Amino acid sequence: MAIGIGLDVGGTKILGCAMDADGSLVAEVRVASPHTPELLYQALVDCVDALLAKLGPLAPEVRGVGVGVPGLVDEHGVLHETANLHGMTELDLPAALRGPIGELLGGPGASFHLIVDNDATCAAAAEHAWGAGRGGADSVLVTLGTGIGGGIVSDGRIVRGARNFGGEVGHMVIDPSGPDCGCGRKGCWERFSSGTGLAYLARRAARAGTAPRLIDLAGGDVDAIVGEHVVKAASEGDPGVAAVLEEFGSYLSLGLANIVEILDPGCIILGGGLVAASHVLLEPGLRIYATTYRRGSGPRAVPVVLATLGERAGAFGAAALSLGTVG
Amino acid sequence: MAIGIGLDVGGTKILGCAMDADGSLVAEVRVASPHTPELLYQALVDCVDALLAKLGPLAPEVRGVGVGVPGLVDEHGVLHETANLHGMTELDLPAALRGPIGELLGGPGASFHLIVDNDATCAAAAEHAWGAGRGGADSVLVTLGTGIGGGIVSDGRIVRGARNFGGEVGHMVIDPSGPDCGCGRKGCWERFSSGTGLAYLARRAARAGTAPRLIDLAGGDVDAIVGEHVVKAASEGDPGVAAVLEEFGSYLSLGLANIVEILDPGCIILGGGLVAASHVLLEPGLRIYATTYRRGSGPRAVPVVLATLGERAGAFGAAALSLGTVG
């Protein structure tokens, strides 16, 4: 059976997974994420080498290698803008990797499919093929982490856009009076509904005097308030923090509803770090979405579900794309 | 050569066009739009009959009939929600039309493709196949009229969504402190950037005292201010109205930029009634978009262009969809 290797490059680690065409994990490696392009390329090649060693007699079945990276990746696999890779940018990963990985997979003329894509696009492909979107043809993955990423599947295929930059739902402006965003605009969805956005809303409430418990938890420093303090205070039943979470939820549901209007997916899948505390952080938004927002005739709001593949979704999806399981 | 018939149902008229597969108009009819379902069905069948008569010896070449209607049309061609058809809703157009049109096209067993779809989706298909998006694979049509409609083409195919309700870009919320929308939310893009939105911004400025000329033009009644007054005052060089148009442009550019983030189209095509006065109404928004918004590395903002097929785009696209020219 054909095997695909997926490599997910994060700011701190690279996760490598060898997957069969049914979406079963066959082998896995993890290494630290280097800070220079040359070391990054070498680390990726080393990951492939290590996975091939783990595959042993199955190694000749590898038909594809996919790499997921955080940032804007063009249709040629070149990484342009990224905030999370130690300042590295304009990385032509296919050019750097094709030769060395080809050597590992059988030398010059080795036949394999090499793809490089945005990590959220990879995760969307994985959740579509093997995760929460399995069985449906239209889904949108929204990753709620430090920022908000996204990937769109329409009729079983990734909606890439003309330059492969599609799916950046986190940079849709939902409130033009909102805070500045690193992208140059104001009030992007990720300014409100990511981990960073939660901290922003929490600090704003603390400054306004409506959530004093957060200041206690942050040692008296409003600027030190982070999402963990919100989770802690919420677990204590703090009413001020409950109001912060309602506000957080209203922004979250607003962006989800916008996605429904524009794309009408069969489901929206929520992934990313915030999902780990979904019962606290995401419950208000999901409740507001489900109770106040219905599109179309009758009670047919588009379901919002949690991702099922966890932190491996990016690597799984890079493998799926390299195998052509998702196009 | 195969011919497709496209019928565009508006609030006041039905436009019928017979198109060849190259996008050339072969025959055309117009009738008033009836106010009851039975009369509407009969009018559509009569349009097909009239077009077949005009086609004469070419009539046997008709392979498809497409109908575009304003509102949410599901994957079976049933029209659910609509604001512009005299209260008619839950119209199962395919069930009503298949038999009578089949009779016209050769009796029982006649082989033809019948489709019913949202009118903006039809127009997007037409502009993609035969209009401003020709030659590209990824485009988004935004129709700026009384409201805002939209249609999305990705990799040459319509992005329909799970229930065929995709493309409703006008109901993306861009400012939650904005005015109520008929959809039940607040601050939808069409509350600001449609003809209705322009009137809202103009009246708001008039009430605030910054655009007194509009009150004069509306005979002293602020609530009577409409888009035509804005165009008139702008042509006079009124500075207060220039400020209204700048504000209108900032909302327009904001929504366009959101579409770029989410979909990264090769171009955004602007259609609808406001395009007729584009030099006045759309210039500020296009300028703000082009000068302040650039996505991706370097100066590669997604181009925003005007639709080229005019009021026939919906009928053309219904024909294109019925022929499978666009899928």
Does B137 contact A164 at a Cβ distance shorter than 8 Å?
Answer: no
Compare A45 and A294 and report the one with higher pLDDT: A45
- For each of the domains in chain B, give its residue range(s) and CATH number, in order of start: 3-125+312-323 (3.30.420.40), 136-307 (3.30.420.40)
Mean pLDDT, residues B136-146 taken together: 96
- The average confidence (pLDDT) of chain A is 94
Cβ atoms of B26 and B20 closer than 8 Å = yes
The shortest CB-CB distance from A262 to any of B177, B250, B262 is to B262
pLDDT at A222: 97
Which of B81, B166, B257 minimises the CB distance to A263?
Answer: B166
Give me the percent of chain B exceeding a pLDDT of 90: 89
Q: In the numeric block, which tokens belong to residue B79?
A: 């029209």
- B303 burial type by CB count under 10 A (0-12 exposed, 13-18 middle, 19+ buried): middle
Contact B174 A174 (CB under 8 A): yes
Which residues 30-49 in chain A show a CB within 8 A of chain B? none
* Residue of B295 and A318 predicted with greater confidence: A318
Nearest to A71 by CA among A191, A183, A214: A183
Q: Are B16 and B50 in contact (CB under 8 A)?
A: yes
Contacts of A42 (CB under 8 A, 6+ apart): A34
> In this complex, is the C-beta atom of A327 within 8 Å of any C-beta atom belonging to chain B?
no
pLDDT tens sequence across A146-167: 999 999 999 999 999 999 999 9
Out of B155, B259, B264, the one facing A163 most closely (by C-beta) is: B264
**How many Å is the Cα radius of gyration of chain B?**
21
Residues with Cβ within 8 Å of residue B210, at least 6 apart in sequence:
B240, B243, B244
Q: Which residue of B has its CA nearest to A263?
A: B166
- Chain A hits for B161, CB-CB cut-off 8 Å, are 138, 154, 263-266
Portion 237-266 of B in contact with A at CB < 8 A: 250, 254, 257-259, 261-266
Number of C-beta neighbours around residue B106 at 10 A: 13
Burial of A299 (0-12, 13-18, 19+ CB in 10 A): exposed
pLDDT at B7: 98
**Which positions ≥6 away from B305 have C-beta within 8 Å?**
B132, B267, B268, B269, B270
With a cut of 50, say whether residue B231 has pLDDT above it. yes
| DSSP for residue B183 | T
List the Cα angle A257/A260/A265 in 5-degree steps.
145
Contact B169 A262 (CB under 8 A): yes
Percentage with pLDDT > 70 across chain B: 98
The model's confidence at residue A294, banded by pLDDT at 50, 70 and 90, is low
Residue B50's H or E segment, with its range, is helix B37-55
Residues of A in contact with B259 (CB under 8 A): 262
Q: Are strands A25-32 and B304-306 parallel, antiparallel or unpaired?
A: unpaired
Is pLDDT of A297 > 50?
A: no
Q: Residue B285: which H helix or E strand, with range?
A: helix B283-292
Of A36-45, A81-90, A202-211, B153-162, least confident by mean pLDDT is A81-90
Give the per-residue SS3 of A151-170. Answer: EEEECCEECCCCCCCCCCHH
A-chain residues within 8 Å CB-CB of B164? 264
Q: What is the pLDDT of residue A83?
A: 76
Q: What is the CA radius of gyration of chain A?
A: 21
- pLDDT of amino acid A295: 60
Asked if the C-beta of B151 comes within 8 angstroms of chain A's C-beta atoms, the answer is no
- pLDDT, residue B114, reads 97
Contact (CB, 8 A) for A111 and A65: no
Cβ pair A82, A69 in contact under 8 A: yes
User: How do residues A7-45 score in pLDDT, each as one tens digit?
Assistant: 999 989 999 999 999 999 999 999 999 999 999 999 999
Mean pLDDT, residues A196-212 = 97
Q: How many CB atoms lie within 10 A of CB A86?
A: 12
The pLDDT of residue B26 is above 70: yes
pLDDT for A224 beyond 60: yes
Q: Do residue B297 and residue A154 have CB atoms under 8 angstroms apart?
A: no
Contact criterion met (CB below 8 Å) for A93 and A66: no
Interchain contact, B261 vs A163, CB within 8 Å = no
Min Cα distance B151 → chain A (Å) is: 9
Q: Which residues of B, range 60-89, sit inside 8 Å of A by Cβ? A: 72, 80-81
Q: Do A152 and B90 touch (CB under 8 A)?
A: no
pLDDT surpassing 50 at residue B78? yes
CB contact under 8 A, B162 and A266: yes
Q: For B269, which DSSP code? A: E
For residue B224 the two structure tokens come to 């009577």
Chain B positions touching A295 (Cβ under 8 A) are: 165
pLDDT for the residue numbered A86: 84
* Interface probe, candidates A88, A160, A185, A262, chain B, greatest B C-beta count within 10 A: A262
CB contact under 8 A, B162 and A81: no
Report the pLDDT averaged over residues B171-185.
93
Which residues of chain A have a CB within 8 Å of the CB of B185?
257, 293
CA B212 to mean position of chain CA atoms: 32
| C-beta atoms of A177 and B173 within 8 A | no
| Residue whose structure tokens are 């008139």 | B232
- φ, ψ (nearest 5 deg) of residue A35: -110, 0
Q: Say whether pLDDT at A194 is over 90.
A: yes
Residue among B186, B181, B129, B174 nearest B285 (CA): B174
Query: Is A264 in Cβ contact with B165 (below 8 Å)?
Result: yes
Residue A186 forms contact with B (CB below 8 Å): no
Cα A225 from Cα A206, distance rounded (Å):
9
A298 pLDDT above the threshold of 50: no
